[in-house]
Structure 1
Amino acid sequence: MILLLASLIVLIWMPPQEARAEYGDVVINNLAEEAGMPPVVFPHWFHRIRFRCKVCHADLGFKFKAGGTGINMLKIIDGYYCGACHNGEIAWSVENCTLCHSGKPGTPTQVHGSTLQKLVVPATQAKPQKQKK
């Protein structure tokens, strides 16, 4: 219980951190806009809580750098990369374009945001409490 309380205190008081892929969304815009599609928003945190790094980065061949893998729709349709799971049986299939291609046009390929930072307000940004009279 003490460890849990100490962890919570540290989490609340820690300063904002730089976005990390483990908790953030990866925007992939290497080829999307050239093909007339919005950038892909890949919720890394959502996949990370379900799978170990090995599943995607070793077994499926994703590089550890945003935009470092030569992903394109033909490879995905053929069952490579995202298509290994997004095949209509394990997860939704490629016909549901806007589920992945949901980024704001012009957004560069990189890690964006941090789920942790969106959920926890740093102490320096907390609203002051109103004092009772």
Structure 2
Amino acid sequence: MTQKNALGIFRRLLLVLLTATVVGGFIGPANAEYGDIVINNYSDGAGMRPAVFPHWFHRIRFRCKVCHADLGFKFQAGGNDINMLKIIDGQFCGACHNGEIAWSVENCNLCHSGTPGTPTQVHQSTVQQLVAPKPKATK
């Protein structure tokens, strides 16, 4: 093997490793960022992590009307009765996350990546920070 061939193999291997590292960083579970919608209507009760909807990731690609008019999402976190049966049936997120337009529901951890116990909310919203927490029930 010549030095030129060895260098070429090394460069290809390095490129593959760098690509895997970069892509692997994007595929992992997401954490809620400012303005994301944490959806925990049923997740905790089902033993799943809350779903995190990356609002601004979608907003830079689509106009508001696509989700809020065409798909019927209300303009309030928790204002929609979203569950997995409806999504599988093509409602709400399932209109696009059907395996043809975007990934399908078999990739649970791509959406269900929130911190367990986090209530449905706009993550780190000013309004959420001003609301006093509910008092814990005493027995």
Same fold by TM-score, threshold 0.5 exceeded? yes
- Structure 1 spans left out of the alignment, 5+ residues: 1-22, 115-133
Match of 1:111 in 2: 122
For residue 95 of structure 1, report the CA deviation from its aligned partner. Answer: 0.3
* Structure 1 residues 88-103: aligned runs within 5 Å: 88-103=99-114
Structure-2 separation of matches of 1:65 and 1:73: 19
Question: Are residue 61 (structure 1) and residue 72 (structure 2) matched?
Answer: yes
Match of 2:60 in 1: 49
- Give me the CA root mean square deviation: 1.2
Percent of residue pairs identical: 84
Q: TM-score when scaled to structure 2?
A: 0.64
Structure with bigger RCO (C-alpha 8 Å, 6+ apart): 1
Structure-2 separation of matches of 1:47 and 1:34: 27
Structure-1 separation of matches of 2:111 and 2:92: 13
- Structure 2 spans left out of the alignment, 5+ residues: 1-33, 126-139
Question: Are residue 28 (structure 1) and residue 39 (structure 2) matched?
Answer: yes
Return the index of the structure with the highest Cα Rg: 2
More helix by share: 2
1:56-101: CA deviation from partner (whole Å, max 9, x where unpaired): 0111111100010010000000101000000011110000000000
